[in-house]
Amino acid sequence: MTKPNTEALDPQESAAREVKSYATGFVVSLLLTVVAFAALLSELPTTGKIALICVAALLQILVHLRNFLHLSFSSRQSREDLLLVLFSVSLLAIMAGGTWYIMTDLSGRMHQTGQGAAVMHEGPGH
């Protein structure tokens, strides 16, 4: 038999904490978006712009995971959720990378020039 939950839960306190988390996430995400646009419009060298935009994007991913998906390393359930998200991301990366590889290889084969391509187009009767 399971032990009843002995902690008193205050729904108003829980809701206030949720709203605060969402508001903080929104403000930080908005600031990171402004930083990315400012980097794009600035006079920085292209590599600096790309680096700043990538850093802002990575930070924004972390903000979304923490503030909107409530993923953290503090509890066992959060670790399992984080592993689930990382597994999903790895599957998406494998699918996107595989698709990119297949399409690039197919494009190279279709646009092949030279002796091999001429023989393929002539057919066996010529």
Distance between CA atoms of residues 66 and 72, nearest Å: 6
pLDDT for 69 equals 82
List Cβ neighbours of 49 (8 Å cut-off, separation of 6 or more). 39, 40, 42
Q: What is the per-residue pLDDT across 79-93, written as a single tens digit (0 to 9) for each?
A: 788 788 889 999 999
Q: What is the per-residue pLDDT across 23-73, written as a single tens digit (0 to 9) for each?
A: 999 999 999 999 999 999 999 999 999 999 999 999 998 899 888 888 776
Scan for tokens 């279709």, then name that residue: 110
Scan for tokens 């066992």, then name that residue: 76
Distance between CA atoms of residues 58 and 15, nearest Å: 28
